Amino acid sequence: MKLETKMTAVEVVEQIAKVAAHEKLSKVLVGDIAAEVLAHATQHGDITLVNKLLPVLTPANRTAVVLLVKECTTHQYNVKEKQFGKKDKDAEKVAFAAEQLAAFVEKYNSCLWAWYEAEKAEKIETAKFSDQAFAKMVANYLIVNGSFDGFDAIVTQAKGAAEGVKAVQDKAAAKVAELVGQGMTNKEAKSIVDAMVKDGRIKADEAAAPAAE
């Protein structure tokens, strides 16, 4: 399943004109045209339609569309000009963008607002683990236990566990990029790599991830 264009470029431009006139009143129209310009960018490599859309959007809606395009493509965003430019060809970033695009299409049915609300919720959840929140959690732990004894060992254990998880994630991402480079789709590559992680063929202490069977 992939995101495909339903309109010609001319039709998209006509829809953008409608968005310019009615954008404040219709999030549905914004969501529909956002999916269309993203489809043109990913299917045809045409980022110009995205750039035509951005100036006519309200700041809030533009934020949602920019985030979607940044997540689902590797086109670089110029914050000052508020426009997208050339693609980043880094294999890992290409694989990540393909994964995000697949999730947008399959999990959120190409609906900008369903995707955006989930994305915001995830960022809010991540923000809870700030330095201040962590410091408060540590302080509460020390207050409850009434002692610093053993705390350094706990921190060392947690650091080791985090480094192990990060090492597996890095190797898995590299393996996905490698398989995509060999001609697999991102979905196929991720399925194989997930299986490799699950059955222990990709481990934190491995020098290199084994080849897929």
Secondary structure class of 122 (helix, strand, coil): helix
What is the residue-wise DSSP string for 84-102?
A: EEEEP--HHHHHHHHHHHH
Residues 6 or more apart whose CB falls under 8 angstroms from that of 212 comprise 175, 179, 192, 193, 196
**Residue type, position 113, single letter:** W
Residue-wise pLDDT tens digits, 124-155: 655 556 677 777 777 777 777 776 677 778 77
Instruction: Return the pLDDT at 186.
Output: 76
Instruction: Return the pLDDT at 40.
Output: 96
Residue-wise pLDDT tens digits, 8-22: 999 999 988 888 777
Inter-residue contact 101 to 93 (CB < 8 Å): no
pLDDT in tens, the chain (213 residues): 789 899 999 999 998 888 877 755 678 889 999 999 999 999 999 999 999 999 999 888 999 999 999 999 999 999 999 999 999 999 999 999 999 999 999 989 999 999 998 887 776 655 556 677 777 777 777 777 776 677 778 778 888 888 888 888 888 888 888 888 888 887 788 888 888 888 888 887 643 434 444
pTM value is 0.54
